[in-house]
Amino acid sequence: MRLAAKVDQLHKHYDLGTVLVKALRGVSLDFPYGDFVAIMGSSGSGKSTLLNLLGALDRPTYGRYILGGQDVSQLSDDELSRIRNEMIGFIFQSYNLITQYSVLENIEVPLHYRAGHSAISAEDRDHCLELAEIVGLEERLDHRPFQLSGGQQQRVAIARALVNDPQIILADEPTGNLDSSTEEEIMQILEKMNAQGRTIIMVTHEPQIARRAKRQIYMKDGLIAGEGIFPV
Amino acid sequence: MLGIVFGVFSVIAMLAIGEGASQQAQKQVLQLGATNIICVSVKPPQGIAKAGQGRLRVLRYGLLRKDYELLANTIRTVVKAIPIREVLDEARFSDKAMVTRIVGCTPDYFAVNHLFLDRGRFVSDRDQAENQLVAIIAADVAERLFQFEDPIEKQVYFNTKLYTVVGVTKRREATAAIGGSMSGQDYNKDIYIPLRTMNVQFPEVKIDFSPGSFSAEEIQLSQITLQIDDRDSVIPTAEVVRESLDRNHKEKQDVNVVVPLELLKQADQLRKIFNIVLGSIAAISLVVGGIGIMNIMLATVTERTREIGIRRAMGAKQRDIVNQFLTETIVLSGTGGILGLILGLLTPVAFQGIKWFVTRFVLEGGTAASDLGKMFTNMNPQIATWSLPVAFSISVGIGIVFGLYPAIQAAKLDPIEALRHE
């Protein structure tokens, strides 16, 4: 299995009663291990819908999604939850940390939802501490999100995304809310992850961010329109 | 949560009041004797028999000796029949005097009324046969008239004669009055003498001279206590007793038949009604509390929509979300339950406080407040231990029932929508 993930003729339709919205109209993509893809497109192009499907947060109307060798297209809600927990790491534009939890507790969240609901062991804790170190937050383990800057919060999110050793990392405009110097820090971390073998699929509308990826794809009207930087 | 606290508290308090009342009733019945039927002479209401003006009319009422013969000998289930006659009189010893109740009785009286000897002996058959002027005095009488002396062999003076003290009874708890049918009996201010002696020494006609009026009453027997062979026969026997007495007392309304067992049943029924009514009030309060919790949780879910989306993205299943919120609800309602439990446990203490307040400030007079106050002094709540886990489980149950809907709503949120929220 050279492919971390693959989508094959993916269609997504939303039935709004009076009108049928075709958000994706047949998207096929391969994502080999170690890939670093930037997906671009204007709003309405279908890139968010594609990201939701890649994140197993939704099911395609037609087509297949194969993740880590497994067809996850028509799984049940419980099974999709498990897939998300074990195979996917999310990084959101607005960080999406749990405000009442500390840095360490936030990193631990995916561990709570592992199959079997095992308690958090000492090894688990050590693993989380390691990840905190990798993103440079070992001094702030007990801080709450409101005590952190945007860049620091995003770093917590990255550590959290890595905790269950996922097949793919999905990043939705990871630097959208950050200033340029913090942007640089975050992109460097992502590049480092990728260099170590992580597969990263990133949605962005900023060309300078897209250029940091290994390849770029742009979408239009629910289809892949081409490769390279989205013509602005 | 306040609704839960109040609901749990009231469940416990109400059950405690009911339990206390029930225990009191049971104690009273046991004191009077569960297998006893007590026939009591009562002065009929004025309209029935009136002493005429200017004529020597004696008011005859109450149990007659032939009633005693009838009840003792013709009813199969009656094991013993104990007649007594009582008269109030002043008793004296050396320089001390005291108003006492002179009770003319038979030897059986003592056992049937749970009277125990402190020293000496009870009335004996021989005393009866020989019309002896002997007396057995009760605890208060001994204390008041004899203080530190030994009353045995000493002589007490009442009704123009000297009686030799042959026994002293132990202090006994008074019985409460039973509605209008029987007055409370103190027992500790009694002097017991043989019934036959009384019949000889005390005239049946009691004459009262006072300026401007004259009254005369004739009573043969004040009370007949019937001991029945077994509990199940008591109620049917009571019917027979009432019918038999009717023969000699038709429409005179001068005899009451008190059946302690009936009273127990009445008290029990009252308690059941009490429990149902107050249980319903408590239940309503709990439901109100539950609805309150549900609303709080629904608001919480709305506030934490984003968080729910995040958790779902991290791999939380729907049932994980349900569990999370249900647990929070149960903690909320459980805490309310514990607070209510603590308040409930304080019920007896609270009642002591109320009683103290009532006896200090409210008891005098016939106002509505003092009647209510009297009611409180009579109540003696006992925590029914089974009510504690029941009430607490109810509070947890309320949490589960009213927390389920918000929890399920939370779980059903679409993760994508939830992540976009706010």
Confidence of residue B374 (pLDDT cuts 50, 70, 90): low
Confidence of residue A106 (pLDDT cuts 50, 70, 90): very high
Confidence of residue A90 (pLDDT cuts 50, 70, 90): very high
What pLDDT does residue B71 have? Answer: 84
User: A54, A75, A81: best mutation site toward chain B, by most B Cβ within 10 Å?
Assistant: A81
A161/chain B closest Cα distance in angstroms: 8
Q: Which of B306, B307, B313 sits opposite A57 (nearest CB)?
A: B313
DSSP category for residue B259: -
> Which of chain B's residues have a Cβ under 8 Å away from the Cβ of A82?
315, 317
Distance in angstroms (rounded) separating the CA atoms of residues B173 and B185 = 9
Which DSSP string corresponds to chain A? Answer: --EEEEEEEEEEEEE-SS-EEEEEEEEEEEEETT-EEEEE--TTSSHHHHHHHHTTSS--SEEEEEETTEE-TT--HHHHHHHHHHHEEEE-TT----TTS-HHHHHHHHHHTSTT-----HHHHHHHHHHHHHTT-GGGTT--GGGS-HHHHHHHHHHHHHTT--SEEEEESTTTTS-HHHHHHHHHHHHHHHHTT-EEEEE-S-HHHHTTSSEEEEEETTEEEEESSPP-
A57/chain B closest Cα distance in angstroms: 7
Highest mean pLDDT among A6-15, B197-206, B349-358: A6-15
Average pLDDT over residues B193-197: 87
B374/chain A closest Cα distance in angstroms: 56
Contact A113 B311 (CB under 8 A): yes
What pLDDT does residue B368 have? Answer: 60
Whether the per-residue pLDDT at B176 is higher than 80: the answer is no
What pLDDT does residue B288 have? Answer: 85
Q: Copy the structure tokens of residue B71.
A: 């009840």
Whether the per-residue pLDDT at B28 is higher than 90: the answer is no
Handedness of CA B276, B282, B288, B293 (dihedral sign): negative
**CA A128 → CA A25, A131, A158, B108, distances in Å?**
40, 5, 12, 88
- In this structure, of A8-17, A116-125, B243-252, B308-317, the range with the lowest mean pLDDT score is B243-252
Bridge partners (DSSP) of residue A3 are A32
B418/chain A closest Cα distance in angstroms: 11
Closest residue in A to B416 (Cα–Cα): A57
Question: Which residue, among A178, A112, A109, A106, has the nearest Cα to A144 in the 3D structure?
Answer: A106
Residue type, B95: D
What pLDDT does residue B376 have? Answer: 60
Whether the per-residue pLDDT at B91 is higher than 80: the answer is yes
Q: Which of A55, A81, A164 sits opposite B316 (nearest CB)?
A: A81
Average pLDDT over residues B305-323: 93
B274 versus B138: the higher-pLDDT residue is B138
- In this structure, of A61-75, A106-120, B129-143, B179-193, the range with the lowest mean pLDDT score is B179-193
Contact B314 A92 (CB under 8 A): no
Quick check: B45 and B251 in contact, CB under 8 A? no
Q: Copy the structure tokens of residue B264.
A: 């127990």
What pLDDT does residue B54 have? Answer: 47
Which DSSP string corresponds to B76-132? Answer: TTEEEEEEEEEEEEEEEETTEEEEEEEEEE-THHHHHTT--EEEE----HHHHHHT-
Average pLDDT over residues B183-187: 73
Whether the per-residue pLDDT at B62 is higher than 50: the answer is yes
A115/chain B closest Cα distance in angstroms: 9
Whether the per-residue pLDDT at B263 is higher than 50: the answer is yes
Distance in angstroms (rounded) separating the CA atoms of residues B256 and B183 = 11
DSSP category for residue B37: E
What pLDDT does residue B51 have? Answer: 47
Q: Which of B310, B315, B416 sits opposite A81 (nearest CB)?
A: B315
What pLDDT does residue B391 have? Answer: 80
> Which of chain A's residues have a Cβ under 8 Å away from the Cβ of B300?
none
What pLDDT does residue A158 have? Answer: 95
Average pLDDT over residues B383-390: 79
- In this structure, of A46-55, A123-132, B133-142, the range with the lowest mean pLDDT score is B133-142
Quick check: B219 and B231 in contact, CB under 8 A? no
Q: Give 3-state DSSP helix, strand, coil % of chain B, rounded to 5.
A: 55, 20, 25
Highest mean pLDDT among A183-197, B6-20, B81-95, B356-370: A183-197
Q: Which residue has the tokens 């708890």?
A: B173
What pLDDT does residue A33 have? Answer: 92
Q: Which of B307, B313, B320 sits opposite A84 (nearest CB)?
A: B313
DSSP category for residue B24: H
> Which of chain A's residues have a Cβ under 8 Å away from the Cβ of B317?
77-78, 81-82, 113
B208 versus A196: the higher-pLDDT residue is A196
A94/chain B closest Cα distance in angstroms: 10
pLDDT in tens, B224-234: 888 888 888 88
Is residue B209 helix, strand or coil?
strand
Instruction: Give the containing element (helix H, strand E) for B361.
Output: none
Confidence of residue A104 (pLDDT cuts 50, 70, 90): very high
Confidence of residue B371 (pLDDT cuts 50, 70, 90): low
Average pLDDT over residues B36-63: 69
B195 versus A201: the higher-pLDDT residue is A201
Distance in angstroms (rounded) separating the CA atoms of residues A203 and A42 = 11
DSSP category for residue B63: B
> Which of chain A's residues have a Cβ under 8 Å away from the Cβ of B310?
96-98, 109
Which DSSP string corresponds to A69-114? Answer: TEE-TT--HHHHHHHHHHHEEEE-TT----TTS-HHHHHHHHHHTS
Is residue B357 helix, strand or coil?
helix
CB pairs under 8 A between A and B: 56
Quick check: B257 and B241 in contact, CB under 8 A? yes
This complex has an ipTM of 0.91
Contact B318 A78 (CB under 8 A): yes
> Which of chain A's residues have a Cβ under 8 Å away from the Cβ of B315?
81-82, 84-86, 110, 113-114, 164
Average pLDDT over residues B233-237: 86
Average pLDDT over residues A141-163: 93
B7 versus A213: the higher-pLDDT residue is A213
Whether the per-residue pLDDT at B335 is higher than 60: the answer is yes
What pLDDT does residue B52 have? Answer: 47
Bridge partners (DSSP) of residue B206 are B217
Q: Which of A52, A82, A98 sits opposite B315 (nearest CB)?
A: A82
DSSP category for residue B207: E
Task: Tell me the residues of B at the A interface, defined by beta carbons under 8 Å apart.
Answer: 306-307, 309-320, 415-416, 419
Whether the per-residue pLDDT at B48 is higher than 60: the answer is no
What strands, in cross-sheet order, belong to the sheet with A3-15?
A20-32, A3-15, A62-67, A70-71
What pLDDT does residue A57 have? Answer: 92
Confidence of residue A87 (pLDDT cuts 50, 70, 90): very high
Q: Which of A55, A98, A114 sits opposite B307 (nearest CB)?
A: A98
Average pLDDT over residues B146-167: 87
Contact A57 B320 (CB under 8 A): no
Query: How many other C-beta atoms are found inside a 10 Å radius of the C-beta of residue A159?
Result: 25
Whether the per-residue pLDDT at A110 is higher than 80: the answer is yes
- In this structure, of A61-70, A201-210, B167-176, B322-331, the range with the lowest mean pLDDT score is B167-176
The whole-chain average pLDDT of chain B stands at: 81
